[in-house]
A and B are shown apart, each in its own frame.
Chain A
Amino acid sequence: MVADPEPQVAPDRGPVIEVDGIVTRFGAQTVHDGVSFSVPRGSLVALIGGSGSGKSVLLREMIGLHRPSGGQVRLLGTDMWSAPQAERNAVRRRFGMMFQDGALFSSLSVAQNVAVPLHEHTRLAAATIDQLVALRLLQAGLPADAGGKMPSALSGGMRKRAAIARAIALEPEILFLDEPTSGLDPITARGFDRLVRSLVDELGITVLVVTHDLDTLLTVVDRVIVLSQGRVLADGSVAEVTAVDDRWLNEYFSVRTILHGDRIDGS
């Protein structure tokens, strides 16, 4: 068989994200008190919860930016907090992260931003990198001439697309999105939802999205995980989650009811 130094991708199914009994404390305040869930390959999962429920902290713990007080996070089978440094770095190359307002490097053009991980982690020829960058921009739904622009010259929607293009530059297996549709107008936001869905369907990327956007939940997401009071309150399809009787959840989904009357239970 082929000698492949790249850790072989477990063929298809099986969880790619495993969160096991995460406990997070800031001083006396307990943010997470045993959060556990797992995400199978190729799905689009949303993480929701009220303000202060610790969604963003959980996301930072998953990608290895914030050490949880207890519990384990395994991405692609590697423990993000106890595996050897080299192993964790290898995993870092296999997931992408889109920060809330893009976190594009403001002194580099869009194309240079997308090229950063390619230059850093591959030894491809410059011409190939240019071609790949162009492909990534198209995959993120940006016009070809957007590559030469500086991040400050982009609209909010384009900046998020550019951030996606950079996050998928290395063809990650997992993509984390932090509030991808916040600050976008509804039309742009729906376009963004379609883009995220296409990444899952066409490239087979597993996506975990932290969001507040009900339309995202109702239109493209496969599964919803609800964080509340430091625990996973509900975990299932949108229909299953709406059926859970909880004050915050009821209120959350009732916003939709106010707008659309009776549309809530059907879909």
Chain B
Amino acid sequence: MTEPTWFRLHTEGGRSVLYLQGAWRLARLESIEARLQRLTLPADTGIDASALEQIDSAGAMVLLRRLDLEVDAASTLAWTGLNEGHRRIIDRVREQLAVGPPPPAPRRQSWLAGVGRRVTLLVELLTGHANQLGGTLVAMASLLLRPHRLRMRELVQLEQTGLDAIPVVALVTALIGVVMAYLLGLQAEQYGANIFVVDGVGIGATREFAPIIVAVVVAGRSGAAFTAQLGSMRLTEEIDAIRTLGLDPWQVLVVPRVLALMLALPLLVFVGDVMSLLGAMAITGSMLDITATAFVARLQDVLDVRHVLVGLLKAPVFALVIAVIGTRMGMTVGRDTRAVGAATTSTVVQSIVAVILLDAAFAVLLQAMEI
């Protein structure tokens, strides 16, 4: 079993002949190319193809390219013994190679241009979000004037974004309550200040943690779903179809989702409040000997209703931002399948960052307003 030779250069009486042999097929092109690299042709070589068994266009291409490099005018080489089928392939490939090489790949840009491009993209992204927010508000306003246009059927979103999210929200917030109470309890125990754990958990969970955690979960669930749904609808030209049917995609697709999320998120935050307090109650009972009655009594004393309200009122704002980002990324997604995936990821990241930024802004603002 020897490596096939593909060709043989034979010199006799000052005249060289390149004998081609074997099957020059794409499957063996690597070995053919490696052999061709070592070929040097003397001037005025003839080519004998009578032992050539097969040649496909890939084989013909590497052969012709090599001959072109070796000989100034490769087309003047004398070919003999070429059968009709092989000649057709070789001639055709020669014609196609004569068209010339493909244009070079675009030059790489400098890092400065890269930075500039990223900044413009970021600005475009943010103005796009602002535009989406404006469009959503306009669509909502026009629905206020003609409320019968609101598609109640689309409010099924409320079920998907709200009801279906309850188990995961309940689980996550209950665990957060447990962790908070445990960590506070470790410190408070040292000073015999066990009961103050209820103060900390009560205010922390209802005012900050439940809204944030729930918003992050919803951004991952519903924000991503909005982008994926609208993105695939854009790919299949469904959004274009909605437009050509004289419907407004803002009213049909965007507003129901935004409304659904704005209704669902405060409700989910309330579930989160209750569950995190229950989680805390469970661990303070066993760890710090605070009975459920004592827990509730203390909660009643220290937890001002304004803390709960702040948490619940932040939720619709978070929801608006998540829904606007989610729908906008879906409606402007590029028309290929990978773009939908990229946009979905981007939605989740953007929504979470936006929620945390907003929450920080709320904290500063409410502090200044002494609420």
Contacts and interface: CB of A to CB of B under 8 A. Distances in A.
Interface of A: 2-4, 6, 8-9, 93, 106-107, 111, 122-125, 128, 130-135, 137-139, 144-145, 147-148, 150-152, 170-171, 201-204
Nearest to A104: B336
A125 B58 contact: no
| Residue of A111, A132, A133 with most chain B CB atoms under a 10 A cut-off | A132
Contact of B2 (A3, A107, A148): A3
B61 A107 contact: no
B246 to A, nearest CB: 26
B335 A152 contact: yes
A132 B89 contact: no
B56 interface: yes
B28 interface: yes
B99 A144 contact: yes
Contact of B89 (A107, A123, A150, A202): A202
A171 B103 contact: no
A161 B57 CA distance: 18
Nearest to B27: A6
Given A3-B2, A122-B29, A135 B22 contact: no
12 contacts: A2-B2, A2-B4, A4-B23, A122-B26, A130-B102, A132-B58, A135-B58, A135-B61, A135-B97, A151-B336, A203-B89, A204-B89
A147 B89 CA distance: 23
A6 to B, nearest CB: 4
A197 to B, nearest CB: 13
A171 B59 CA distance: 10
B307 interface: no
A171 B100 contact: no
Given A4-B23, A150-B336, 13 more contacts: A2-B22, A3-B1, A6-B23, A6-B25, A9-B54, A111-B102, A125-B33, A135-B93, A144-B99, A144-B102, A145-B103, A152-B334, A204-B89
Contacts of A150: 336
A137 B101 CA distance: 12
A3 B99 contact: no
A107 B85 contact: no
Contact of B56 (A125, A144, A148, A171): A171
Interface in B329-356: 334-339
Contact of A107 (B3, B103, B338): B338
Contacts of B101: 134, 144
A138 B96 contact: yes
A219 B27 CA distance: 33
Interface string B71-101: 0000000000000010011001100110111
A124 B89 contact: no
Interface residues of B, number: 39
B65 interface: yes
Contacts of B102: 111, 130, 133-134, 137, 144-145, 147
Given A4-B28, A202-B92, A128 B62 contact: yes
Contacts of A144: 99-103
Interface string B13-29: 00000000011011111
B96 A152 contact: no
Closest 9 CB pairs of A and B: A106-B336, A107-B338, A3-B1, A2-B4, A138-B96, A171-B26, A6-B27, A171-B56, A134-B102
Contacts of A202: 88-89, 92
A116 to B, nearest CB: 14
Nearest to B59: A171
A76 to B, nearest CB: 13
B30 interface: yes
Interface of B: 1-4, 22-23, 25-30, 33, 54, 56-58, 61-62, 65, 85, 88-89, 92-93, 96-97, 99-103, 105, 334-339
Given A4-B4, A201-B88, A139 B335 contact: no
A85 B335 CA distance: 36
B65 A131 contact: yes
Contacts of B4: 2-4
Contacts of B1: 3
A264 B334 CA distance: 47
Contacts of B2: 2-3
Contacts of B56: 171, 203
Contacts of A148: 103, 105
Contacts of A203: 56-57, 89
A128 B100 CA distance: 15
A124 B29 contact: yes
A138 B92 CA distance: 10
Contacts of B99: 138, 144
A152 B336 contact: yes
A132 B101 CA distance: 11
B57 A139 contact: yes
Nearest to A90: B27
Given A3-B3, A128-B33, A171 B336 contact: no
A159 to B, nearest CB: 13
B74 to A, nearest CB: 16
A122 B103 contact: no
Contacts of A2: 2, 4, 22-23
A121 B62 CA distance: 18
A134 B335 CA distance: 25
Contacts of B96: 135, 138-139
Contacts of A170: 26
A144 B104 CA distance: 11
Contacts of B100: 144
